[in-house]
Amino acid sequence: MIGRIYWIALNTVIEFVRDRSVTGFLFIGILFILGGAVVADLSFVEKQKMYIDTGLGAIFIVSVFITLLAGTNVIDRELREKQALCALAKPIPRAAWMAGKFAGYLFTLGAVIFLLTSFFFFYIKLQVGLWIPMIFVGGLFIYLEMIVLSSYILLFSMITSQYMSLFFALLVLIIGHMIDDLKIYWASGSEAARFITHALFYVLPNMKTYLATPIVNGNIPVPSNYVIALLCSTTLYVLIAGILAGLLLNRKELA
Amino acid sequence: MNGLNLEVGSGEIYGFLGPNGAGKTTTIKILMGFLKSTSGKALLFGENASHWKVRERVGFLPENPNIYPYLTGRQALYIIGKYFSMPRKRILKRIEELSAELGMERELSLPIRQHSRGMAQRIGLAQALINEPDLILLDEPMNGLDPIGRKMFREAILRQRDAGRTVFFSSHILSDIEMICTRIGLLNRGRIILEQPMSEILNRPDGKSLEEIFMEKVSETI
Protein backbone atom coordinates (compact mmCIF):
# COMPACT_ATOMS: atom_id res chain seq x y z
CA MET A 1 0.00 0.00 0.00
CA ILE A 2 2.89 2.39 0.70
CA GLY A 3 3.96 2.02 -2.94
CA ARG A 4 0.49 3.01 -4.16
CA ILE A 5 0.39 6.01 -1.82
CA TYR A 6 3.82 7.01 -3.14
CA TRP A 7 2.57 6.97 -6.75
CA ILE A 8 -0.51 9.02 -5.85
CA ALA A 9 1.74 11.53 -4.08
CA LEU A 10 4.17 11.66 -7.02
CA ASN A 11 1.29 12.19 -9.43
CA THR A 12 0.03 15.06 -7.26
CA VAL A 13 3.47 16.70 -7.28
CA ILE A 14 3.70 16.38 -11.09
CA GLU A 15 0.23 17.90 -11.47
CA PHE A 16 1.15 20.84 -9.21
CA VAL A 17 4.38 21.50 -11.08
CA ARG A 18 2.75 21.32 -14.50
CA ASP A 19 -0.27 23.33 -13.41
CA ARG A 20 2.11 26.32 -13.16
CA SER A 21 0.09 28.13 -10.48
CA VAL A 22 2.48 26.91 -7.77
CA THR A 23 5.53 27.84 -9.85
CA GLY A 24 3.83 31.19 -10.41
CA PHE A 25 3.63 31.68 -6.65
CA LEU A 26 7.31 30.77 -6.38
CA PHE A 27 8.14 33.49 -8.89
CA ILE A 28 5.96 36.01 -6.99
CA GLY A 29 7.74 35.06 -3.75
CA ILE A 30 11.13 35.78 -5.35
CA LEU A 31 9.84 39.14 -6.54
CA PHE A 32 8.59 39.94 -3.03
CA ILE A 33 11.98 39.06 -1.54
CA LEU A 34 13.75 41.24 -4.12
CA GLY A 35 11.23 43.98 -3.40
CA GLY A 36 12.32 43.86 0.24
CA ALA A 37 15.50 45.66 -0.87
CA VAL A 38 13.44 48.72 -1.73
CA VAL A 39 11.88 48.78 1.76
CA ALA A 40 15.26 48.10 3.42
CA ASP A 41 16.86 50.94 1.47
CA LEU A 42 14.31 53.34 2.93
CA SER A 43 15.57 52.46 6.40
CA PHE A 44 18.78 54.07 7.59
CA VAL A 45 19.11 51.91 10.68
CA GLU A 46 18.66 48.16 11.20
CA LYS A 47 18.86 47.38 7.49
CA GLN A 48 19.44 43.70 8.25
CA LYS A 49 16.29 43.58 10.41
CA MET A 50 14.28 45.12 7.57
CA TYR A 51 15.59 42.50 5.14
CA ILE A 52 14.65 39.68 7.49
CA ASP A 53 11.20 41.12 8.20
CA THR A 54 10.33 41.63 4.56
CA GLY A 55 11.96 38.39 3.38
CA LEU A 56 10.29 36.11 5.91
CA GLY A 57 7.07 38.10 5.43
CA ALA A 58 7.25 37.39 1.70
CA ILE A 59 7.80 33.66 2.27
CA PHE A 60 4.90 33.60 4.75
CA ILE A 61 2.48 35.41 2.41
CA VAL A 62 3.31 33.17 -0.54
CA SER A 63 2.96 30.07 1.68
CA VAL A 64 -0.44 31.24 2.90
CA PHE A 65 -1.61 31.82 -0.67
CA ILE A 66 -0.47 28.36 -1.76
CA THR A 67 -2.00 26.75 1.31
CA LEU A 68 -5.33 28.50 0.90
CA LEU A 69 -5.64 28.11 -2.86
CA ALA A 70 -3.87 24.82 -3.63
CA GLY A 71 -4.75 23.24 -0.27
CA THR A 72 -8.48 23.79 -0.69
CA ASN A 73 -8.25 22.40 -4.23
CA VAL A 74 -6.15 19.31 -3.74
CA ILE A 75 -8.93 16.93 -2.68
CA ASP A 76 -12.03 18.98 -3.43
CA ARG A 77 -11.31 19.61 -7.12
CA GLU A 78 -10.60 15.96 -7.85
CA LEU A 79 -13.87 14.96 -6.23
CA ARG A 80 -15.84 17.78 -7.88
CA GLU A 81 -14.41 17.18 -11.36
CA LYS A 82 -14.72 13.41 -10.93
CA GLN A 83 -11.01 12.93 -11.60
CA ALA A 84 -10.92 10.90 -8.39
CA LEU A 85 -13.22 8.24 -9.87
CA CYS A 86 -10.37 6.95 -11.99
CA ALA A 87 -8.02 6.43 -9.01
CA LEU A 88 -10.73 5.22 -6.63
CA ALA A 89 -11.81 2.59 -9.15
CA LYS A 90 -8.41 0.99 -8.53
CA PRO A 91 -7.56 -1.19 -5.53
CA ILE A 92 -6.85 1.78 -3.30
CA PRO A 93 -8.78 2.54 -0.09
CA ARG A 94 -10.18 6.07 -0.07
CA ALA A 95 -8.12 7.01 3.00
CA ALA A 96 -4.92 5.87 1.24
CA TRP A 97 -5.82 7.95 -1.80
CA MET A 98 -6.39 10.97 0.44
CA ALA A 99 -3.10 10.36 2.27
CA GLY A 100 -1.25 10.22 -1.06
CA LYS A 101 -2.84 13.42 -2.33
CA PHE A 102 -2.11 15.22 0.95
CA ALA A 103 1.47 13.97 1.09
CA GLY A 104 2.09 15.14 -2.49
CA TYR A 105 0.64 18.53 -1.69
CA LEU A 106 2.72 18.90 1.52
CA PHE A 107 5.85 17.92 -0.38
CA THR A 108 5.18 20.57 -3.04
CA LEU A 109 4.47 23.20 -0.40
CA GLY A 110 7.65 22.24 1.47
CA ALA A 111 9.71 22.40 -1.73
CA VAL A 112 8.41 25.89 -2.54
CA ILE A 113 9.15 27.15 1.00
CA PHE A 114 12.62 25.56 0.92
CA LEU A 115 13.44 27.13 -2.45
CA LEU A 116 12.26 30.56 -1.32
CA THR A 117 14.16 30.27 1.99
CA SER A 118 17.34 29.20 0.17
CA PHE A 119 17.00 32.09 -2.27
CA PHE A 120 16.49 34.48 0.64
CA PHE A 121 19.51 32.99 2.48
CA PHE A 122 21.84 33.73 -0.45
CA TYR A 123 20.19 37.05 -1.24
CA ILE A 124 20.68 38.40 2.29
CA LYS A 125 24.35 37.35 2.17
CA LEU A 126 24.67 39.35 -1.04
CA GLN A 127 22.97 42.39 0.47
CA VAL A 128 24.35 42.59 4.01
CA GLY A 129 27.36 40.28 3.73
CA LEU A 130 26.25 37.88 6.46
CA TRP A 131 25.32 34.22 6.45
CA ILE A 132 22.22 33.86 8.64
CA PRO A 133 21.42 30.13 8.95
CA MET A 134 18.57 30.96 11.34
CA ILE A 135 16.60 31.88 8.22
CA PHE A 136 16.12 28.15 7.65
CA VAL A 137 14.60 27.83 11.14
CA GLY A 138 12.22 30.60 10.09
CA GLY A 139 11.37 28.68 6.91
CA LEU A 140 10.78 25.50 8.93
CA PHE A 141 8.42 27.29 11.33
CA ILE A 142 6.44 28.76 8.42
CA TYR A 143 6.21 25.27 6.89
CA LEU A 144 4.98 23.74 10.14
CA GLU A 145 2.36 26.46 10.50
CA MET A 146 1.16 25.82 6.95
CA ILE A 147 0.96 22.06 7.65
CA VAL A 148 -1.32 22.76 10.63
CA LEU A 149 -3.45 25.08 8.51
CA SER A 150 -3.55 22.47 5.73
CA SER A 151 -4.80 19.84 8.20
CA TYR A 152 -7.77 22.05 9.02
CA ILE A 153 -8.35 22.65 5.31
CA LEU A 154 -8.30 18.89 4.69
CA LEU A 155 -10.98 18.44 7.31
CA PHE A 156 -13.07 21.37 6.06
CA SER A 157 -12.91 20.12 2.48
CA MET A 158 -14.66 16.92 3.57
CA ILE A 159 -17.64 18.73 5.02
CA THR A 160 -18.09 21.85 2.96
CA SER A 161 -17.42 23.48 -0.40
CA GLN A 162 -14.06 24.77 -1.61
CA TYR A 163 -14.92 28.43 -0.97
CA MET A 164 -16.27 27.77 2.51
CA SER A 165 -13.11 25.74 3.30
CA LEU A 166 -11.05 28.70 2.17
CA PHE A 167 -13.10 31.06 4.35
CA PHE A 168 -12.88 28.81 7.43
CA ALA A 169 -9.14 28.31 6.89
CA LEU A 170 -8.65 32.05 6.78
CA LEU A 171 -10.55 32.33 10.07
CA VAL A 172 -8.36 29.62 11.64
CA LEU A 173 -5.26 31.51 10.52
CA ILE A 174 -6.46 34.88 11.83
CA ILE A 175 -7.90 33.61 15.11
CA GLY A 176 -4.87 31.33 15.52
CA HIS A 177 -2.63 34.39 15.53
CA MET A 178 -4.86 36.16 18.07
CA ILE A 179 -5.51 33.17 20.29
CA ASP A 180 -3.76 34.58 23.36
CA ASP A 181 -6.14 37.54 23.20
CA LEU A 182 -9.04 35.14 23.74
CA LYS A 183 -7.90 34.75 27.32
CA ILE A 184 -8.70 38.42 27.86
CA TYR A 185 -12.27 37.86 26.72
CA TRP A 186 -12.98 34.74 28.77
CA ALA A 187 -12.25 36.60 31.97
CA SER A 188 -15.10 38.96 31.18
CA GLY A 189 -18.30 38.76 29.14
CA SER A 190 -21.35 36.56 29.37
CA GLU A 191 -21.47 32.82 30.09
CA ALA A 192 -22.00 32.06 26.38
CA ALA A 193 -19.06 34.25 25.33
CA ARG A 194 -16.85 32.52 27.87
CA PHE A 195 -17.89 29.11 26.55
CA ILE A 196 -17.16 30.11 22.93
CA THR A 197 -13.76 31.63 23.71
CA HIS A 198 -12.80 28.57 25.79
CA ALA A 199 -13.86 26.23 22.97
CA LEU A 200 -11.93 28.23 20.35
CA PHE A 201 -8.86 28.34 22.57
CA TYR A 202 -8.70 24.56 22.88
CA VAL A 203 -9.86 23.63 19.35
CA LEU A 204 -7.83 26.09 17.28
CA PRO A 205 -4.04 26.02 17.06
CA ASN A 206 -1.92 28.77 18.56
CA MET A 207 -0.24 30.03 15.42
CA LYS A 208 1.90 32.46 17.39
CA THR A 209 4.06 29.54 18.51
CA TYR A 210 5.26 29.28 14.88
CA LEU A 211 6.26 32.94 14.65
CA ALA A 212 9.95 32.92 13.79
CA THR A 213 10.75 36.51 12.83
CA PRO A 214 11.77 37.66 16.34
CA ILE A 215 13.95 34.55 16.77
CA VAL A 216 15.70 35.08 13.43
CA ASN A 217 16.06 38.83 13.96
CA GLY A 218 17.49 38.42 17.44
CA ASN A 219 19.60 35.44 16.30
CA ILE A 220 18.23 33.67 19.39
CA PRO A 221 19.15 29.97 19.54
CA VAL A 222 16.01 27.83 19.49
CA PRO A 223 16.02 25.09 22.16
CA SER A 224 15.81 21.66 20.55
CA ASN A 225 12.97 20.62 22.88
CA TYR A 226 10.91 23.57 21.56
CA VAL A 227 11.41 22.41 17.97
CA ILE A 228 10.58 18.81 18.97
CA ALA A 229 7.42 20.01 20.74
CA LEU A 230 6.38 21.94 17.61
CA LEU A 231 7.08 18.92 15.38
CA CYS A 232 5.05 16.67 17.71
CA SER A 233 2.09 19.04 17.92
CA THR A 234 2.10 19.49 14.13
CA THR A 235 2.18 15.71 13.63
CA LEU A 236 -0.69 15.38 16.08
CA TYR A 237 -2.78 17.94 14.16
CA VAL A 238 -2.08 16.10 10.89
CA LEU A 239 -2.95 12.70 12.40
CA ILE A 240 -6.19 13.85 14.01
CA ALA A 241 -7.32 15.79 10.93
CA GLY A 242 -6.22 12.93 8.65
CA ILE A 243 -8.12 10.28 10.60
CA LEU A 244 -11.29 12.37 10.81
CA ALA A 245 -11.08 13.35 7.12
CA GLY A 246 -10.47 9.69 6.17
CA LEU A 247 -13.57 8.61 8.09
CA LEU A 248 -15.65 11.34 6.45
CA LEU A 249 -14.33 10.49 2.98
CA ASN A 250 -15.25 6.83 3.51
CA ARG A 251 -18.85 7.85 4.13
CA LYS A 252 -18.97 10.31 1.25
CA GLU A 253 -21.14 9.51 -1.77
CA LEU A 254 -19.11 9.99 -4.95
CA ALA A 255 -22.03 10.82 -7.21
CA MET B 1 -32.95 1.95 -7.74
CA ASN B 2 -36.01 -0.05 -6.89
CA GLY B 3 -35.83 -3.79 -6.32
CA LEU B 4 -33.07 -4.25 -8.89
CA ASN B 5 -31.97 -7.85 -9.18
CA LEU B 6 -29.13 -8.44 -11.55
CA GLU B 7 -26.64 -11.24 -12.08
CA VAL B 8 -23.96 -11.32 -14.74
CA GLY B 9 -22.12 -14.54 -15.50
CA SER B 10 -18.48 -15.01 -16.36
CA GLY B 11 -17.55 -14.42 -20.03
CA GLU B 12 -20.71 -12.48 -20.87
CA ILE B 13 -21.01 -9.14 -22.63
CA TYR B 14 -23.93 -7.65 -20.78
CA GLY B 15 -25.59 -4.59 -22.30
CA PHE B 16 -27.26 -2.36 -19.75
CA LEU B 17 -29.89 -0.28 -21.51
CA GLY B 18 -32.29 2.35 -20.41
CA PRO B 19 -33.50 5.88 -21.03
CA ASN B 20 -31.86 8.88 -19.38
CA GLY B 21 -32.33 8.80 -15.62
CA ALA B 22 -33.21 5.09 -15.55
CA GLY B 23 -30.45 4.37 -13.03
CA LYS B 24 -27.69 2.86 -15.20
CA THR B 25 -24.87 5.06 -13.89
CA THR B 26 -26.18 4.76 -10.33
CA THR B 27 -26.05 0.95 -10.61
CA ILE B 28 -22.49 1.06 -11.93
CA LYS B 29 -21.44 3.48 -9.17
CA ILE B 30 -22.92 1.16 -6.55
CA LEU B 31 -20.96 -1.73 -8.10
CA MET B 32 -17.79 0.38 -7.95
CA GLY B 33 -18.41 1.34 -4.33
CA PHE B 34 -18.78 5.06 -5.13
CA LEU B 35 -22.37 5.08 -3.89
CA LYS B 36 -23.90 3.05 -1.08
CA SER B 37 -27.25 1.36 -1.58
CA THR B 38 -29.81 2.04 1.14
CA SER B 39 -30.74 -1.66 1.14
CA GLY B 40 -29.73 -4.85 -0.61
CA LYS B 41 -26.34 -6.19 -1.59
CA ALA B 42 -23.90 -5.54 -4.42
CA LEU B 43 -21.37 -8.31 -4.93
CA LEU B 44 -18.46 -8.67 -7.33
CA PHE B 45 -16.93 -12.15 -7.57
CA GLY B 46 -19.09 -13.02 -4.54
CA GLU B 47 -17.49 -10.31 -2.39
CA ASN B 48 -18.79 -6.98 -1.15
CA ALA B 49 -18.47 -4.59 -4.11
CA SER B 50 -17.55 -1.63 -1.93
CA HIS B 51 -14.39 -3.29 -0.62
CA TRP B 52 -11.30 -1.90 -2.33
CA LYS B 53 -9.55 -5.28 -2.65
CA VAL B 54 -12.16 -6.62 -5.03
CA ARG B 55 -11.12 -3.95 -7.53
CA GLU B 56 -7.83 -5.78 -8.19
CA ARG B 57 -9.85 -7.77 -10.75
CA VAL B 58 -11.98 -4.94 -12.11
CA GLY B 59 -11.45 -2.40 -14.88
CA PHE B 60 -13.69 0.65 -14.96
CA LEU B 61 -14.30 3.35 -17.53
CA PRO B 62 -16.46 6.18 -16.16
CA GLU B 63 -18.78 8.26 -18.33
CA ASN B 64 -16.72 11.21 -19.64
CA PRO B 65 -13.44 10.03 -18.10
CA ASN B 66 -11.37 12.83 -16.61
CA ILE B 67 -7.85 11.49 -16.34
CA TYR B 68 -4.88 13.51 -15.09
CA PRO B 69 -4.80 16.34 -17.66
CA TYR B 70 -1.15 17.32 -17.21
CA LEU B 71 0.25 13.86 -17.86
CA THR B 72 0.83 12.32 -21.24
CA GLY B 73 -1.16 9.20 -22.03
CA ARG B 74 1.91 7.04 -21.41
CA GLN B 75 2.65 8.65 -18.01
CA ALA B 76 -0.99 8.34 -16.93
CA LEU B 77 -1.11 4.65 -17.89
CA TYR B 78 2.20 4.00 -16.14
CA ILE B 79 1.01 5.59 -12.89
CA ILE B 80 -2.32 3.78 -13.10
CA GLY B 81 -0.43 0.52 -13.57
CA LYS B 82 1.47 1.36 -10.40
CA TYR B 83 -1.88 1.76 -8.57
CA PHE B 84 -2.22 -1.99 -9.18
CA SER B 85 1.34 -2.54 -7.92
CA MET B 86 2.26 -3.92 -11.34
CA PRO B 87 6.01 -4.28 -12.02
CA ARG B 88 7.58 -1.74 -14.40
CA LYS B 89 8.28 -4.24 -17.18
CA ARG B 90 4.73 -5.56 -17.17
CA ILE B 91 3.27 -2.05 -17.30
CA LEU B 92 5.46 -1.06 -20.24
CA LYS B 93 4.53 -4.27 -22.06
CA ARG B 94 0.82 -3.67 -21.42
CA ILE B 95 1.11 -0.07 -22.66
CA GLU B 96 2.63 -1.31 -25.92
CA GLU B 97 -0.02 -4.02 -26.29
CA LEU B 98 -2.85 -1.58 -25.63
CA SER B 99 -1.31 1.00 -27.93
CA ALA B 100 -1.31 -1.52 -30.78
CA GLU B 101 -4.76 -2.84 -29.90
CA LEU B 102 -6.47 0.55 -29.57
CA GLY B 103 -4.36 2.46 -32.09
CA MET B 104 -3.26 5.18 -29.71
CA GLU B 105 0.39 5.96 -30.55
CA ARG B 106 -0.35 9.71 -30.70
CA GLU B 107 -2.34 9.72 -27.46
CA LEU B 108 0.58 8.23 -25.55
CA SER B 109 2.91 11.14 -26.21
CA LEU B 110 0.43 14.03 -25.94
CA PRO B 111 -0.68 15.58 -22.63
CA ILE B 112 -4.22 14.39 -21.91
CA ARG B 113 -5.57 17.95 -21.79
CA GLN B 114 -4.78 18.18 -25.52
CA HIS B 115 -6.70 15.01 -26.35
CA SER B 116 -9.86 15.05 -28.44
CA ARG B 117 -12.95 13.29 -27.10
CA GLY B 118 -12.11 10.09 -28.97
CA MET B 119 -8.48 10.12 -27.84
CA ALA B 120 -9.46 10.65 -24.21
CA GLN B 121 -11.94 7.79 -24.48
CA ARG B 122 -9.23 5.49 -25.86
CA ILE B 123 -6.90 6.34 -22.96
CA GLY B 124 -9.89 5.81 -20.67
CA LEU B 125 -10.42 2.33 -22.06
CA ALA B 126 -6.68 1.60 -21.89
CA GLN B 127 -6.56 2.51 -18.18
CA ALA B 128 -9.51 0.19 -17.58
CA LEU B 129 -7.69 -2.69 -19.32
CA ILE B 130 -4.15 -2.13 -18.06
CA ASN B 131 -4.42 -4.73 -15.29
CA GLU B 132 -6.03 -7.38 -17.55
CA PRO B 133 -9.16 -7.41 -15.38
CA ASP B 134 -11.62 -10.28 -15.16
CA LEU B 135 -14.54 -7.86 -15.13
CA ILE B 136 -14.77 -4.67 -17.18
CA LEU B 137 -17.41 -2.07 -16.31
CA LEU B 138 -17.96 0.58 -18.96
CA ASP B 139 -20.32 3.48 -18.43
CA GLU B 140 -21.57 4.86 -21.76
CA PRO B 141 -18.26 4.12 -23.51
CA MET B 142 -19.53 5.00 -27.00
CA ASN B 143 -20.88 8.46 -26.09
CA GLY B 144 -19.61 11.15 -28.43
CA LEU B 145 -17.50 8.78 -30.53
CA ASP B 146 -17.50 8.88 -34.32
CA PRO B 147 -18.30 5.66 -36.27
CA ILE B 148 -14.59 4.75 -36.49
CA GLY B 149 -14.17 5.19 -32.75
CA ARG B 150 -17.28 3.12 -32.03
CA LYS B 151 -16.06 0.33 -34.31
CA MET B 152 -12.71 0.33 -32.52
CA PHE B 153 -14.48 0.14 -29.17
CA ARG B 154 -16.73 -2.71 -30.32
CA GLU B 155 -13.74 -4.68 -31.55
CA ALA B 156 -11.87 -4.05 -28.31
CA ILE B 157 -14.86 -5.28 -26.28
CA LEU B 158 -15.16 -8.41 -28.44
CA ARG B 159 -11.46 -9.13 -27.91
CA GLN B 160 -12.03 -8.97 -24.17
CA ARG B 161 -14.79 -11.55 -24.48
CA ASP B 162 -12.51 -13.77 -26.58
CA ALA B 163 -9.94 -13.53 -23.78
CA GLY B 164 -12.57 -14.90 -21.39
CA ARG B 165 -13.35 -11.63 -19.62
CA THR B 166 -16.74 -10.35 -18.56
CA VAL B 167 -17.90 -7.01 -19.90
CA PHE B 168 -20.77 -5.02 -18.41
CA PHE B 169 -21.57 -1.85 -20.23
CA SER B 170 -24.27 0.75 -20.35
CA SER B 171 -25.17 2.45 -23.59
CA HIS B 172 -27.86 4.34 -25.43
CA ILE B 173 -26.63 3.22 -28.80
CA LEU B 174 -28.81 0.22 -29.55
CA SER B 175 -27.06 -0.77 -32.76
CA ASP B 176 -23.80 -1.28 -30.84
CA ILE B 177 -25.59 -3.34 -28.23
CA GLU B 178 -27.17 -5.49 -30.95
CA MET B 179 -23.80 -6.15 -32.52
CA ILE B 180 -21.78 -7.24 -29.53
CA CYS B 181 -23.88 -8.16 -26.49
CA THR B 182 -24.63 -11.70 -25.44
CA ARG B 183 -27.39 -10.55 -23.08
CA ILE B 184 -29.19 -7.33 -22.33
CA GLY B 185 -30.98 -5.83 -19.37
CA LEU B 186 -33.42 -3.00 -19.97
CA LEU B 187 -33.71 -0.66 -17.02
CA ASN B 188 -36.38 1.94 -16.42
CA ARG B 189 -37.09 3.92 -13.26
CA GLY B 190 -34.65 1.80 -11.34
CA ARG B 191 -36.20 -1.55 -12.30
CA ILE B 192 -35.21 -4.19 -14.82
CA ILE B 193 -38.16 -4.40 -17.20
CA LEU B 194 -36.64 -6.84 -19.67
CA GLU B 195 -33.71 -9.23 -19.48
CA GLN B 196 -33.01 -11.59 -22.37
CA PRO B 197 -30.17 -13.20 -24.32
CA MET B 198 -29.41 -11.19 -27.45
CA SER B 199 -29.90 -14.26 -29.65
CA GLU B 200 -33.55 -14.50 -28.49
CA ILE B 201 -34.16 -10.83 -29.20
CA LEU B 202 -32.65 -11.03 -32.66
CA ASN B 203 -34.70 -14.15 -33.53
CA ARG B 204 -38.10 -13.11 -32.19
CA PRO B 205 -41.03 -14.53 -34.15
CA ASP B 206 -42.65 -11.07 -34.39
CA GLY B 207 -39.47 -9.75 -36.04
CA LYS B 208 -39.32 -6.63 -33.84
CA SER B 209 -36.02 -4.80 -33.65
CA LEU B 210 -34.28 -3.95 -30.39
CA GLU B 211 -35.28 -0.32 -30.88
CA GLU B 212 -38.96 -1.25 -31.21
CA ILE B 213 -38.79 -3.45 -28.15
CA PHE B 214 -36.99 -0.69 -26.23
CA MET B 215 -39.64 1.92 -27.13
CA GLU B 216 -42.51 -0.48 -26.38
CA LYS B 217 -41.20 -1.63 -23.00
CA VAL B 218 -40.18 1.84 -21.81
CA SER B 219 -43.53 3.38 -22.80
CA GLU B 220 -45.35 0.54 -20.96
CA THR B 221 -43.62 1.48 -17.70
CA ILE B 222 -44.08 5.27 -17.96
Question: Can you tell me the ipTM of this complex?
Answer: 0.86
Residue range B173-189: mean pLDDT, rounded: 86
Residue range A152-171: mean pLDDT, rounded: 89
Instruction: Identify the three-state secondary structure at position A117.
Output: helix
Taking only the tens place, the pLDDT of each residue in A80-106 is 888 888 888 999 999 999 999 999 999
Q: Which residue of A has its CA nearest to B111?
A: A18
The half-sphere exposure of A234 on its side-chain side, counting CA atoms within 13 A, is: 21
Number of structural domains (chain A) is 1
Of B82-91, B136-145, B148-157, highest mean pLDDT:
B82-91
In this complex, which of B35, B58, B65 lies closest to A86 when CB atoms are compared?
A: B65
**Residue A186: what pLDDT?**
67
Residues of B in contact with A14 (CB under 8 A): 70-71, 75
B4 falls within a domain: no
Contact state of B68 with A91 under an 8 Å Cβ cutoff: no
| Angstroms from B102 CA to nearest CA on chain A | 19
B178 falls within a domain: yes
Q: What are phi and psi of A181, to 5 degrees?
A: -65, -25
Number of structural domains (chain B) is 1
For the whole model, what pTM was predicted? 0.88
Q: Angle at CA B83, nearest 5°, toward B130 and A97?
A: 140
B5 falls within a domain: no
Taking only the tens place, the pLDDT of each residue in A207-224 is 888 887 777 777 777 788
B17 falls within a domain: yes
| Residue A112 to residue A106: CA distance in whole angstroms | 10
Per-residue pLDDT for A74 more than 80?
yes
Q: Angle at CA A180, nearest 5°, toward A175 and A181?
A: 75
A:B CB pairs within 8 Å? 77
- Chain B contact present for A18, CB below 8 A: yes
Beta carbons within 10 angstroms of residue A1's beta carbon: 13
- Residue B193: which domain range? 13-221
- Residue A59: which domain range? 2-251
Residue range B27-32: mean pLDDT, rounded: 90
Per-residue pLDDT for B125 more than 70?
yes
Taking only the tens place, the pLDDT of each residue in B94-121 is 999 988 888 887 778 888 888 888 888 8
Residue range A159-165: mean pLDDT, rounded: 87
B7 falls within a domain: no
**Residue B204: what pLDDT?**
78
Contact state of B52 with A14 under an 8 Å Cβ cutoff: no
Q: Return the residue in B68, B112, B139 with the most chain A beta carbons within 10 A, the one to mutate for interface testing.
A: B68
**Residue A108: what pLDDT?**
94
Per the rule left: phi > 0, alpha: psi between -120 and 50, beta: everything else, B40 is left
B-proximal residues of A, 74-93, CB under 8 Å: 81-83, 85-93
**Residue A122: what pLDDT?**
92
Give the CATH number for residue B161: 3.40.50.300
